[in-house]
Each structure stands twice: as C-alpha cells, then as structure tokens.
Amino acid sequence: MAVIADRCPGIQVTLVDLNAARIAAWNDPNLSRLPVYEPGLADVVGRCRGRNLHFTTEVDGAIASADMVFLSVNTPTKTRGLGAGQASDLRWIEASARQVAAQATGHTIVVEKSTLPVRTAETIKEILGASQALGTEGSKSFSVLSNPEFLAEGTAITDLENPDRVLIGGEDPDAINALAEIYGHWVNPERILRTNLWSSELSKLTANAFLAQRISSINAIAALCEATGADVKEVARAIGADSRLGSKFLSAGPGFGGSCFRKDILNLVYLCRHYGLEEAAHYWEQVVDFNSWQQQRIARLVVRKLFGTVSGKRLAVLGFAFKADTNDTRESPAIGICHDLLEEGAHLAIHDPKAAPQQIATDLACPPSSPGQGLAELGSWDVATDVREAVEGADAVIVLTEWSQFRRLDWNSLASRMRRPAWLFDVRAITDAEAARAAGLKVWRVGEG
C-alpha cells in the first residue's frame, strides 16, 4: 500500500487496523521504529505519510469513503477443528468482509490481498451480496477481485517496484480495469495478467508451492552431495545454466521458513484432499515433510560432530530471522534447530542483527538465562550483541541466516576466541570456509562433500 501511495500521488491510501498499538507504531515520527523492518520501506513511508498515506483505527469511516478496499488480514493455518494443521483459518477474512458489507457506500471494489484457499472469493461475494440485497442504506454494490501478492520479505520494495507480474483475477471487466490502472502507473501493461478468480487464487498457492518444492529439491541434493563428495554449489551452477530450470532459488540451507510456504502448501494439500485427490495431496505433503527433516538433520549433525554431546557447551548461533534483511522469525528454521540443541543441553549465544530478543524468547518458549546460569544440565540461551561476543569461549559457530555481514567475518580474530577444537557449521554456505580452515577451525558446510 505504501508503494501504491508512492507511485500514485493522486490516490489517497488509508491503512486501517483494529490494533491501536500497531497503528500508533506506523505513525511513529521516528521512521527507524516502524513495526516492520524492510529495506527501503522507511523512505517510502517517510515520503508519503500524511500526504496520501494514512494510518488509522477509524475502520468504518475509511470503508465508507473507499472506492476500493483491500482485504489484507492474516489467514494462519487452523490449529483446531475441521482441517486443523492444514486448512486456513478464515475468521478474519469473514469478519472483514462483514464489516465492509455493513459500512460500504455506493459501488465498492473489494480486493483479496490475503493469500486464500481457492474459491474463497465465493464466500466473500456471498457475504457482500447479502448486504447488497438488503439495500438498507441506499444502493450499494460490490465487485470482488483477487490480486495476490508475490513480494518476498527483504526485497519487498524492489519486488513491488519491478514486479515480474501483477495478477488480477475477477469477473467484472470495469473493476479489473480500475485495479490495472493503479498498477499501470508504474508497471508495464504486458506484466499485468488477467485471469478468472479461481485461477488467480490457485496461482498464488501454486507459485509458493513450486518455490518451496525447489528448495526441498536442492536440499535433498545437498544431503547427497555431502555423502558423495560433490558440491551442491557446483551442481546448482550447472543445472541453473539450463534456461528451462533457471539459476534462482537453488541455495541449499536449513530448509525454508517464513510465514507463507508451509502454510500455503498445507492449504494446497487440504484442497487436494477435499477434492479426493489423495496422490496429489501426498505429493505436496512430502515437500513439507522433507523440509522438517532437513532442519532436524542439522541439529543432529552438530551434536554428532561435537563428540556426540553439546551438553554444557557454548554454541554461537549467527542469525535467527528466517532469511536475511528482515526481522521476521515466523517459521524460521532457527527455531527448530535451536530448540533441538537446547534439548541436548547446549548453551546458545544467539546473535541476529534485527530479530528482537523478546521474539526469540517467544519462539523458543523459554526466557534467556540470567547471568550466572547456563552451563547447566538443561540448555539455556542468551542474546549476544555482536559476533565477537557470541563466539567468546564457544565450541562452535552455527550460521543459520544469510546476513551479508556473516559473509565477511574475520575468522582469524574469531577463531582465537573459541575453545579448541572449534567448529564452523555453515548452514547457508556463505562464509569464507577457506579462511576459517586457515584460522584452525574445523568446517562443515551444507552441501559440501
């Protein structure tokens, strides 16, 4: 929405949320304190806020005056009831649709921005249609569009400014044109794809499923490379040169994280099962199962290399966010890996440039140890403010997120602070392994045989 405001100064964009603290944070005069860390975002918000970008809790008024409403609420995986563990929880979508139905005036275009199961638009249309039929407050009418988002965290602003494609699904040509016109301010019309509603919804789930599948595929090959003496980076370069495969999304690592991939694939699995396509459901389920295995094998491997026990050992964990350039830790592979190491009794010194310590505590479901504790039978963890502090006296360094600063570490100086024999586990294959070896560290790198 901030990018739309930036590119379309003639359009007033109002972001509404029921959460007053969140809205207050978005209105914070200090742009470095915005609730989401995303490169370039503070600049865009700084340019537009108060001009044509507004943040408010006045939900009803904003809906009433809007020509177009984007539903961008979260749709987490259900934790209980029908479809628990797989289906999306649509309660917030339904609540927002009802609120739009009640408050809208005149003709309103309702755009599904949240990632939704296929045919959710039907539910939204039904709710809006019911209020249209009532026609209590003059005439109101609605058009529903699907406009899924393809940006990735960490590169959100550039992804939005130069999208590979914009996808608009719908049945009402006027509504589709109205939304296409907004994107047309900066996106080449050839990149604006128009489909029917269901194709658009399904394309979003499919894109994420294919991307996630590619990561599981390269991670499977990485394990084989480690066993056979091949190097997954060389294999990735060789296969990526095939224009049919392409070179992107071929980095082996600790497995995919983030709020989307797992949720969207499980959604796809649920849909396949719902339509009786058990084999298709099983096929996609494997991508998620394999991802869990990859995370578990990293923790097991660290324990094995450290003489079969990490109890009481200090391990420096570099990176906790699910990928670089974000403070987001949702579904981060670091959570499972750290959890498994804590179970083994390790003391973890965790350093991440952006992830908040309170968030890490929530994710690990235990508070950081107070000074003087640790090195006990049960594992414990603490935040280290920098890499040097993290590695002090450590038996191993484990690189879990590909932050650029971890690519350029001074291994001579770091190695001298560690307890020997000391290990580097480079789970993202980004560090200078030769320099680390030269500094006397034993090195394990994902996908390197």
Structure-token pair, residue 222: 């990485």
Q: Which residue is nearest to ligand UGA (CB)?
A: 258
Which residue reads 């960490």 in tokens?
154
Selected from 41, 129, 150, 327, the binder of ligand UGA by CB under 6 A is: 150
Among this protein's residues, is 8 annotated catalytic? no
Site for ligand UGA in 205-234 (CB under 6 A): 208, 211, 215
Nearer to ligand UGA, 86 or 143 (CB): 86
Among residues 4, 1, 108, which one has the least CA distance to residue 99? Answer: 108
Among the candidate windows 2-10, 40-48, 147-155, 272-280, which touches ligand UGA by CB under 6 A?
147-155
Nearer to ligand UGA, 309 or 405 (CB): 405
Selected from 75, 96, 114, 251, the binder of ligand UGA by CB under 6 A is: 251
Among this protein's residues, is 137 annotated catalytic? no
- Which of 78, 125, 140, 204 is an active site residue? 204
Count Cβ atoms within 10 A of the Cβ of residue 47 and give its class: 0-12 exposed, 13-18 middle, 19 or more buried.
middle
Cα 121 to Cα 212: distance, rounded to the nearest angstrom:
25
Residue 189 near residue 167 (C-beta atoms within 8 A):
no
Among this protein's residues, is 204 annotated catalytic? yes
Selected from 152, 178, 223, 245, the binder of ligand UGA by CB under 6 A is: 152
Angle at 5 between CA 95 and CA 27, to 5 degrees: 70
Angle at 193 between CA 42 and CA 244, to 5 degrees: 95
Smallest gap from Cβ 63 to ligand UGA, in A, equals 24
Cα 262 to Cα 268: distance, rounded to the nearest angstrom:
10
Nearer to ligand UGA, 209 or 364 (CB): 209
Nearer to ligand UGA, 128 or 364 (CB): 364
Selected from 111, 260, 394, 430, the binder of ligand UGA by CB under 6 A is: 260
Residue 128 near residue 110 (C-beta atoms within 8 A):
yes
Instruction: Supply the DSSP symbol for 367.
Output: P
Query: How many chain residues bind ligand UGA (CB under 6 A)?
Result: 20
Selected from 151, 193, 239, 301, the binder of ligand UGA by CB under 6 A is: 151
Rg (C-alpha) for the chain, rounded Å, is 24
- What are the residue ranges of helices labelled H in 275-395? 278-305, 333-343, 357-364, 387-391
Nearer to ligand UGA, 258 or 368 (CB): 258
Is 183 among the residues that bind ligand UGA (CB under 6 A)?
no
Tell me the three state secondary structure of residue 145: strand
Which residues sit at the interface with ligand UGA, rule CB under 6 A?
115, 149-153, 208, 211, 215, 249-251, 253, 256-258, 260-261, 322-323
Which amino acids are annotated catalytic?
149, 204, 260
